[in-house]
Structure 1
Amino acid sequence: MTTTASGAAAPRPVKLSCHNLWKVFGNNAAQFLASHGGKATAADLERAHLVGAVRNASIEVHEGETFIIMGLSGSGKSTLVRCLSRLIEPTAGALALDGQDLLKATPDELIEIRRHKMGMVFQNFALLPHLSVLENVAFPLLVQGVERKAREERAMQMIELVSLKGRELRFPAELSGGQQQRVGIARSLAVEPEIWFLDEPFSALDPLIRREMQAELIRLQSVLKKTIIFITHDFDEAIRLADRIAIMKDGEIIQIGKPEDVVSNPATDYVAKFTSDVNRARVLSAGGIMLPPSSGAHAYRRVKASAKIESFAPDIVDSLTPFAVEDAEGLVIGEVTPRAVIEVLAGKGRGAGA
Structure 2
Amino acid sequence: MSKIKVEGLTKVFGKKPKRALDMLAKGKKKTEILKETGLTVGVDQADFTVEDGEIFVIMGLSGSGKSTMVRLLNRLIEPTTGSVFVDGEDLAKMNAKDLRNVRRKKMSMVFQKFGLFPNRTILQNVEYGLEIQGIEKNKRRETAQTSLELVGLKGYEDSYPDQLSGGMQQRVGLARALANAPDVLLMDEAFSALDPLIRKDMQDELLDLQEKMKKTIIFITHDLDEALRIGDRIMIMKDGSIVQIGTPEQILTQPENDYVERFVEDVDRSKVFTAESVMIRPESVNLEKDGPRVAMQRMREAGISSIYVTKRNKELVGIVHATDVSELIKSNIDRLDSIIITDVPVVDKNTPLNELMDQLAVSTVPLVVRSDNKLQGIIVRSAVLGALSGSEVDFDGFSTPSGNR
TM-score w.r.t. the length of structure 2 is 0.75
C-alpha separation in 2, matches of 1:169 and 1:326:
43
- Which residue identity does 1:313 align to in structure 2? M
Shift of 1:183: 0.9
- Which residue identity does 2:6 align to in structure 1? C
Shift of 1:304: 8.0
Q: What do residues 165-191 of structure 1 show as CA deviations (whole Å, max 9, x unaligned)?
A: 221111111111111111111111111
Out of 82, 106, 109, the position equivalent to 1:120 is 109
Shift of 1:291: 7.6
C-alpha separation in 1, matches of 2:369 and 2:149:
40
What residue in structure 2 maps to residue 27 of structure 1? 15
What residue in structure 2 maps to residue 17 of structure 1? 5
Does the 8 A contact of 1:75 with 1:249 survive in 2? yes
Shift of 1:119: 0.8
- Which residue identity does 1:63 align to in structure 2? D
1:75 aligns with 2:118: no
C-alpha separation in 1, matches of 2:137 and 2:266:
50
1:342 aligns with 2:385: yes
Out of 197, 202, 224, the position equivalent to 1:213 is 202
Q: What do residues 187-244 of structure 1 show as CA deviations (whole Å, max 9, x unaligned)?
A: 1111111100001111111111111111111111111111100011112212221111
C-alpha separation in 2, matches of 1:251 and 1:36:
11
Shift of 1:103: 0.6
Does the 8 A contact of 2:12 with 2:20 survive in 1? no
C-alpha separation in 1, matches of 2:383 and 2:166:
42
- Which residue identity does 2:155 align to in structure 1? G
C-alpha separation in 2, matches of 1:212 and 1:309:
19
**Gap runs ≥5 in structure 1:** 1-12
C-alpha separation in 2, matches of 1:305 and 1:150:
40
Shift of 1:327: 10
What residue in structure 2 maps to residue 314 of structure 1? 358
Q: Given the superposition, is the C-alpha separation of residues 326 and 173 from structure 1 closer, same or farther in structure 2, using an over 3 Å criterion?
A: closer
User: What SS does the corresponding residue of 2:249 show, helix, strand or coil?
Assistant: helix
Structure with higher Rg: it is 2
Q: Given the superposition, is the C-alpha separation of residues 191 and 304 from structure 1 closer, same or farther in structure 2, using an over 3 Å criterion?
A: closer
Q: Given the superposition, is the C-alpha separation of residues 331 and 339 from structure 1 closer, same or farther in structure 2, using an over 3 Å criterion?
A: closer
**Gap runs ≥5 in structure 2:** 283-301, 309-343, 395-404
Alignment of 1:167-178 (within 5 A): 167-178=156-167
What residue in structure 2 maps to residue 5 of structure 1? none
C-alpha separation in 2, matches of 1:177 and 1:292:
45
1:192 aligns with 2:181: yes
- Which residue identity does 2:3 align to in structure 1? K
1:98 aligns with 2:106: no
C-alpha separation in 2, matches of 1:27 and 1:297:
74
Does the 8 A contact of 1:289 with 1:350 survive in 2? no
- Which residue identity does 1:240 align to in structure 2? R
Does the 8 A contact of 1:298 with 1:324 survive in 2? no
- Which residue identity does 1:33 align to in structure 2? L
What residue in structure 2 maps to residue 296 of structure 1? 304
Shift of 1:81: 0.4
TM-score w.r.t. the length of structure 1 is 0.85
C-alpha separation in 2, matches of 1:134 and 1:343:
50
Q: Given the superposition, is the C-alpha separation of residues 38 and 164 from structure 1 closer, same or farther in structure 2, using an over 3 Å criterion?
A: farther
C-alpha separation in 1, matches of 2:200 and 2:353:
21
C-alpha separation in 1, matches of 2:362 and 2:246:
33
User: What SS does the corresponding residue of 1:14 show, helix, strand or coil?
Assistant: coil
Alignment of 1:1-354 (within 5 A): 13-30=1-18, 32-33=20-21, 37=25, 40-42=28-30, 45-46=33-34, 47-285=36-274, 288=277, 295-296=303-304, 299=307, 308-318=352-362, 330=375, 337-342=380-385, 344-345=387-388, 348-350=389-391, 352=393
